[in-house]
Every structure is written in C-alpha cells, then in structure tokens.
Amino acid sequence: MPRFNNIEDVRKYIKNNPGKVKLKNGMTVAQLLDIEAKKLYDILTKHVALYYSHREPTAYQRTFGLMNSLRIERPKVEGGEISVRIYFDPEMSTHESLFGGDPGFTPVLINWGWEVKQGAHWGVEHFGQQEGWHFVEKAIREWQATNKLGFGVKVRVSAPNVDTEVIFSGEDISL
C-alpha cells in the first residue's frame, strides 16, 4: 500500500488507479460498479418485459428483438473513470419502416414514442402513433432508489437522426 502525505495524494492515487483501489469491504470500485450495473440491467429487463405484457398486438407478430437485444459489458477503466455499458444491440433492435422511411431503432421508438405526420395511419394508436413507455427512465429511477454508493447514470442515444447524451437527473428524457 502506498504512503500518503496528504488528502491530495490520496485523490491522485484513486484517480490514477480507479479499478484497483479496495474499499473496507475488500471490493474494488469496479467490482461494486459491476454489481450495481447488473442490478440496473435486471431492472431494465423487467421494465421492457412490462412493456411487452401491456398489450398483445393483433396486426403483426412480435419478434422480441427489443428484449433479446439488451446487452451489458464488463466495467471499463478509462481516463480515471470506471464505466459499464448497458445497451440495446442495433443489429437486433432495428427494423425496416412499414411506410418506406428510415429504419426504426425500436428502443428509441418504444421508449420515447412516435407519431406519423401524415397518411392512412396518422393518429392510429400503436401503429401511426404511440406514447412513449419510458422504460429507460423508469428503470433508472427504480435503481437509483437503492443506489447507496452514489453511482451516476449517463444515457447516450445513438440512432438514425438522433445522437444525444444526457446525465440522468430523475426527469423523463426528451429527444
């Protein structure tokens, strides 16, 4: 264990070794983050399942691409920070437009909702328009209620015509 002369030395050590510093319980911050990320992943999975159970479509057969596309990676240490990426695999959760437009990234469409601007399906619930389910925000809020370690959540949305990053503050995220 290195020797420290002041609190600034401790801060520098932690910043330069974020994945290695052990806490009193013997675990590293990276290990704790991994545990918390798995909890958030499980909660997000539950909220996606709640969306599926909300209604049964009659005009198409579900592929469950949204549910099956959810992924989690191992903690990564980079630039003095530790992060874990939880994401929807675009290969499994992007589908062609039924109206000849751009492909749709299902997590964005279901979470934030959609509305066609014109045509025969304009205003038709669940087909031409749908309110957002906000499963991302619901899952983060539920996880934050048990987050005693103070870990933060950053949401990055990258999809056709959308590229944004926000630090989650407890409010619904709008695009």
Alpha carbons 140 and 50: distance in angstroms, whole number = 15
**Where do the domains of the chain lie?**
7-167
**Partners of 156 in the β-ladder:** 165
Query: What pTM, to 2 d.p., does this model score?
Result: 0.79
Report the 10 Å Cβ neighbour count for 136.
25
CB atoms within 10 A of CB 47: 19
Per-residue pLDDT in tens (0 to 9) along the chain, 175 residues: 677 778 787 777 777 776 777 878 888 888 988 999 999 999 999 999 999 898 787 767 788 888 999 999 998 887 777 888 898 888 888 887 766 777 778 888 888 887 776 665 655 565 667 788 999 999 999 999 998 888 888 887 766 555 555 555 555 555 4
From the list 34, 19, 20, the residue with the least C-alpha distance to 78 is 19
